[in-house]
C-alpha cells in the first residue's frame, strides 16, 4: 500500500519537527501533492490514523492533503505553469502548452510535501 509508506514517511519527518520544537503534541499536518502522484486522500488519512494510534504525541491529530493543480514545463517556449487542460489519453497524457501550443512538455513532479505542522508547544518556563 503506497499510502502507508507515504504516511509513515510523513510521521517520521514530523517526529523530528516535534523534537526540534520541544512540542507536546501534534495538532494538524497539512501536506500537498501533485494530481499525478496517485495519492488517495482517504487511504492516506487511514494509514496515518493507524500509524499514529500508538504515538502519544500524535493522538487526536489530523492530516490534511491538498491536491495541487498540475504543472508543466514547456520545452519549446520554456513556459512553466498550469497546462492548457488536463492531459488526454490520446497524447499519452502529454499536456499542451497554453503559451505556444506545443505538446513537447514535461509534467513537473510534485511529490508529497509537508507544508505546515501545527504543534502544541508548552509555554516557555522562565527560570529566575
Q: Determine the Cα angle at 53 with ends 51 and 55, to 5°.
A: 85
CB nearer to Zn ion: pick between 45 and 103: 103
Distance CA 110, CA 38 (A): 11
76 part of the interface to Zn ion, by CB under 5 A: yes
Element (H, E) at 64: strand 62-67
Nearest approach in angstroms of CB 94 to Zn ion is 12
Nearest approach in angstroms of CB 120 to Zn ion is 47
108 part of the interface to Zn ion, by CB under 5 A: no
Classify strands 72-74 and 25-33 as parallel, antiparallel or unpaired: unpaired
Q: What does DSSP assign to residue 125?
A: P
79 part of the interface to Zn ion, by CB under 5 A: yes
97 part of the interface to Zn ion, by CB under 5 A: yes
72 part of the interface to Zn ion, by CB under 5 A: no
15 part of the interface to Zn ion, by CB under 5 A: no
What is the grid cell recorded at 1?
A: 500500500
Amino acid at each position: 500500500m503506497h499510502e502507508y509508506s507515504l504516511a509513515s514517511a510523513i510521521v517520521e519527518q514530523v517526529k523530528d519537527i516535534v523534537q526540534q520544537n520541544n512540542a507536546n503534541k501534534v495538532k494538524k499536518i497539512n501536506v500537498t501533492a501533485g494530481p499525478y502522484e496517485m495519492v488517495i486522500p482517504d487511504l492516506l488519512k487511514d494509514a496515518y490514523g493507524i500509524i499514529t494510534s500508538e504515538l502519544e504525541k500524535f493522538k487526536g491529530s489530523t492530516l490534511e492533503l491538498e491536491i495541487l493543480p498540475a504543472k508543466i514545463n514547456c520545452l519549446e517556449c520554456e513556459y512553466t505553469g498550469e497546462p492548457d487542460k488536463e492531459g488526454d489519453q490520446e497524447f499519452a497524457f502529454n499536456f499542451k502548452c497554453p503559451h505556444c501550443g506545443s505538446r513537447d512538455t514535461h509534467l513537473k513532479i510534485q511529490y508529497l510535501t509537508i507544508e505546515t505542522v501545527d504543534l502544541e508547544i508548552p509555554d516557555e518556563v522562565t527560570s529566575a
